[in-house]
Amino acid sequence: MTDRYAVIGNPIAFSKSPLIHSSFAQATGQDLDYSKIEGPLGQFAATVDAFRAQGGRGLNITAPFKLDAFAYATEHSPAAQLAGAANAMKFDGERVLAENFDGVGLVRDVVHNLAQPLRGKRVLVLGAGGAARGALLPFLAEQPTELVIANRSLDKAQDLARIGTAQGPVRACSLQDLQGRHFDLVFNATSASLRAELPTVPVSVFAECALAYELAYGKGLTPFLRLAQGAGVPQLADGVGMLAEQAAEAFAWWRGVRPQTRAVIERLTVPLV
């Protein structure tokens, strides 16, 4: 019997998840059907209930439902607890398990696919929302020299930094406080690129930077990446690798086998021009 999985979001037409998971299933010999669900706003629980009643085994969750998924679940992984949000769920009878693979997917893309170690490096994360929360502990587990979280709202950055203090050298600052600071790796986890806007970041942060990473994907050379390119950063990347790697983590969680990601990443990559 074919097992059913899906991604739920609103809007959802843009999602590459069905392509990714269908490719993974074919490569690993797994019998599953993976579809898109455009969930009506305000009706997340009812939509998921209906999917489960039809035999659904698991869901990926994208905007704007990650908080709804966290609230819906009966059990949460440490990563989901930290983020306060879920990007994957697994159904086991009455149990609903919630996970958040965004952070581990990002780290795997950076360290393994892009060959940029985080250990011993000065790392800057712009933004303190859900994406930054998901990345916090996976980043600190790689043992950077320092991890700086810079956000327009300093209070929000400070709240996030306090969560990671026991795990490693993390601190918060405002975007204005970055002037004159240099970093080895810079990550844009703000929503600015979704609006084709440039986050308020001084060009000085790129002076010694080896990698500028845009968590948004499929946008080409965003204003953030264009600024980094102009500053001479030798390696630019967007979030397509993160997308594929977090999908592979979810697939392995559901099916017990982790697929290779290289072919999917190559297929989905949009040239940064």
Catalytic residues: 66
Q: Is the bond into 11 cis (omega within 30 degrees of 0)?
A: yes
In three-state form (DSSP H/G/I as H, E/B as E, the rest C), the secondary structure along 156-206 is: HHHHHHHHHHHHCCEEEEEHHHHCCCCCCEEEECCCHHHHCCCCCCCHHHH
**Orientation angle between helical segments 240-255 and 17-28, nearest 10 degrees:** 50
User: Pairing between strand 146-151 and 122-126?
Assistant: parallel
The owner of tokens 């986890």 is 189
**Any idea how long the chain is?**
273
Cβ-based burial of 223 (10 A; exposed 0-12, middle 13-18, buried ≥19): middle
User: Pairing between strand 32-38 and 185-188?
Assistant: unpaired
Q: What angle do CA 213, 120, 265 make, to 5 degrees?
A: 30
SS percent in the chain: helix, strand, coil, step 5: 40, 20, 35
The owner of tokens 């991604």 is 7
